[in-house]
Amino acid sequence: MGRERELATLDALLAQTVAEETATAVVITGPAGIGKTRLASEFLARTRARFGPDGVTVWLVRGDPVG
């Protein structure tokens, strides 16, 4: 996908979160069309493959620039 560095960063944060048994928030920002949604989707797919569909709890939030 060309996002291996970003995915590796997210994987490292997840590993730290699991090891420390704490919650972690990650904010992905950038201009429209840069691939934020694709990055999140790829990370979630990897995470679900690694831990199973019930292995982690993920909350997704989307901002509205007008609201």
Place of tokens 């989707």: 41
C-alpha 59 chain-centroid distance = 10
At 59 the pLDDT is 83
Confidence grade of residue 64 (pLDDT, cut at 50, 70, 90): confident
At 45 the pLDDT is 92
Per the CB < 8 A criterion, the answer to whether 15 and 3 are in contact is no
Distance, in Å, from the CA atom of 66 to the CA atom of 54, rounded to the nearest integer, reads 34
The model's pTM is 0.80
> 17-35, pLDDT tens digit by residue?
999 999 889 988 889 899 9
Per the CB < 8 A criterion, the answer to whether 44 and 52 are in contact is no
